[in-house]
A and B are shown apart, each in its own frame.
Chain A
Amino acid sequence: MDLLIDLIQLTVYGVVLGSILALGAIGVSMIFGILRFAHFAHGDLMTIGAYVGLSFIAVTDAPIWWALPAGMTGAALTALVVDQAVYKHIRRTQPVILLISSFGMALVLRSIVQIIWGPSVQSYPTGIQRPWWIWEISIVPNHVWIMLATVVIVTALHLFLTRTRIGKAMRAMSDNMDLALVTGIPAERVIMITWLIGGALAAGAGVLLGMDSRLTPTMGWNILLPVFAAAILGGIGRPYGAIAGGLVIGMAMEISTLFLEPSYKPAVAFVIMVAVLIVRPQGIFKGAL
């Protein structure tokens, strides 16, 4: 009985963590789908989003939830600027050059965060969270809000990808770049929108992660591995797969604490990622790898 309760409790935590991973993984997956490289600076976009949100509510005294739109705007613009200043000029080279550049960009972004906000740990003014009890399962209000915020963001993304012309063009480009070109889809415009959305989703993950724990300049970098694991598990290039991948990885990481030290959580994600790459590299939803 105790085991069952633990399992349910950890599943709840897993869904919360999975929501955060999913938001990050969608961006990684979309960027891979359209630009064909693994974006290593994605974790640091999350960090920037979290800090921009923190500053926004500190300066404006707005309610804490305003950190989400503010952070998303900040990281979206950061992603766009990075693309236009750096990635755009090396887009026609080999993917490995883009990959290494994004690794360098990760270091740059992290340093910028440290310069502006300092290296110390900070947190959102969430106040004391009294858990709600359902049977023997406790849920803190923040966790409910994190899950709801994820549902809202993912729903908005889904509507964008299936109902708008540019959203459909993003899926088309991810499907078949050459055909998109001969069809007359303006590639550069679609790429810019992809960065804006990828950056905004990363910030969503960053702000929610900040609410769940605290803000440090390495918060995004530290979570990058599980985010990649989620994107790969879901089938890289498939945004909907990334959502499923995020939830599976999140739950696996939390449930593993039943029999493993919590410090092994990232290792669990890593093992799943390696296993997927060996057994089914295309992922659950048949991605582009």
Chain B
Amino acid sequence: MKLLEANTVYGGYGGADILKGATVHVDKDEIVVIVGPNGAGKSTLMKAVFGLLHVREGEVLYKGEAITNGKPEQMVRRGIAYVPQEKNVFPSLTVEENLEMGAYLIRGDIRPRKEKVYEVFPKLRERRRQQAGLMSGGERQMVAMGRALMIDPELLMLDEPTAGLSPRLIDETFERIIRIRKLGIGVLMVEQNAKQALAIADRGYVLATGANRFEDTGPNLLANREVAEMFLGG
């Protein structure tokens, strides 16, 4: 069974539709990347899946169950974690407190979860008492992903996790994402660094004007001349 399916989704911010029939799915242990030009509706699609904006038509299924237009809190309870592109940490809270907030809905001992996050991001353990707002962009991105991992998600949605990072940190972030998949977590991400993202992706979608233009395995999309010319800068 597919972990997540979004089928022919239409919707937007109240005015005209930004999404015009976009369709994606994610399986367990799979990295799925959505690429496409600016304004294609990539981030909008993520928000629509997570219940942050209204899906006018189409459906979103999680493990076969309809979750269309569900509340974000319910998404978290089902095991879907979402990391927004910007402002994705609580700046006045420490790293550790940010992680604790990630597990807000979890009853019981959260220490094993924290340990698991510190294993993926050892640097966060060193910096656990530091205020997240005082950290570098790369470190904040780790905090944001760590916070999302605290619910032990089955599906992790990342909106441009490498935006604004240096090339070295971009490589590092993609390595972490591969590691996260090894934990048995499905990853759906939107990326501007399309070539690198598709290189680690199991499958990818090229979105344009709110609808699917291409979908294929990562390597096939990278090898596709048309995709390369139109969307990957030649």
From known contacts A178-B87, A179-B87, infer whether A185 and B92 are also in contact, taking CB-CB under 8 Å. no
The answer to whether B84 and A172 touch across the interface, beta carbons within 8 angstroms, is no
Q: Which residues of B contact A185 (CB under 8 A)?
A: 101, 104
Kindly identify which residue among A176, A178, A184 contacts B73, using a CB–CB cutoff of 8 Å: A184
Number of chain B residues whose Cβ lies closer than 8 Å to a Cβ of chain A: 23
The answer to whether A179 and B102 touch across the interface, beta carbons within 8 angstroms, is no
Closest 7 CB pairs of A and B: A184-B76, A175-B90, A184-B105, A172-B90, A184-B73, A172-B101, A182-B72
How far apart sit A171 and B101, CA to CA, in the bound complex (Å)? 10
The answer to whether A171 and B82 touch across the interface, beta carbons within 8 angstroms, is no
Which residues of A in the span 222-238 have a Cβ within 8 Å of any Cβ on B? none
Contact with A along B69-102 (1 / 0, CB 8 A): 0001100110000101001111111000100111
How far apart sit A75 and B76, CA to CA, in the bound complex (Å)? 35
Which residues of B in the span 32-88 have a Cβ within 8 Å of any Cβ on A? 50, 52, 72-73, 76-77, 82, 84, 87-88
| B147 interface residue per 8 A CB criterion | yes
Interface residues on A, range: 10 to 19
A186 to chain B, nearest CB (A): 7
From known contacts A178-B87, A179-B87, infer whether A169 and B101 are also in contact, taking CB-CB under 8 Å. yes
Which residues of A in the span 150-183 have a Cβ within 8 Å of any Cβ on B? 165, 168-169, 171-172, 174-176, 178-183
How far apart sit A181 and B88, CA to CA, in the bound complex (Å)? 11
From known contacts A169-B104, A178-B87, infer whether A184 and B72 are also in contact, taking CB-CB under 8 Å. yes
Chain B interface (Cβ < 8 Å from any Cβ of A): 50, 52, 72-73, 76-77, 82, 84, 87-93, 97, 100-102, 104-105, 147, 151
How far apart sit A180 and B76, CA to CA, in the bound complex (Å)? 12
How far apart sit A167 and B39, CA to CA, in the bound complex (Å)? 39
A120 to chain B, nearest CB (A): 45
23 A-B interface contacts by CB (under 8 A): A165-B100, A168-B97, A168-B100, A168-B101, A169-B101, A169-B104, A172-B97, A174-B92, A175-B92, A179-B84, A179-B89, A180-B101, A181-B72, A181-B73, A182-B52, A182-B82, A183-B101, A183-B104, A184-B73, A184-B76, A184-B105, A184-B151, A185-B104
The answer to whether B104 and A184 touch across the interface, beta carbons within 8 angstroms, is yes
Interface of A is mostly: helix
How far apart sit A182 and B158, CA to CA, in the bound complex (Å)? 12
Kindly identify which residue among A165, A175, A181, A182 contacts B93, using a CB–CB cutoff of 8 Å: A175
How far apart sit A226 and B155, CA to CA, in the bound complex (Å)? 50
How far apart sit A183 and B101, CA to CA, in the bound complex (Å)? 7
The answer to whether A168 and B93 touch across the interface, beta carbons within 8 angstroms, is yes
How far apart sit A169 and B104, CA to CA, in the bound complex (Å)? 8
Q: Which residues of B contact A169 (CB under 8 A)?
A: 101, 104
B35 to chain A, nearest CB (A): 23
Which residue, of A169, A181, A182, has the highest number of chain B Cβ atoms within 10 A? A182
From known contacts A178-B87, A179-B88, A184-B76, infer whether A172 and B50 are also in contact, taking CB-CB under 8 Å. no
Q: Which residues of A contact B89 (CB under 8 A)?
A: 176, 179
The answer to whether B90 and A179 touch across the interface, beta carbons within 8 angstroms, is yes
How far apart sit A185 and B102, CA to CA, in the bound complex (Å)? 8
The answer to whether B104 and A176 touch across the interface, beta carbons within 8 angstroms, is no
A235 to chain B, nearest CB (A): 11
B97 to chain A, nearest CB (A): 5
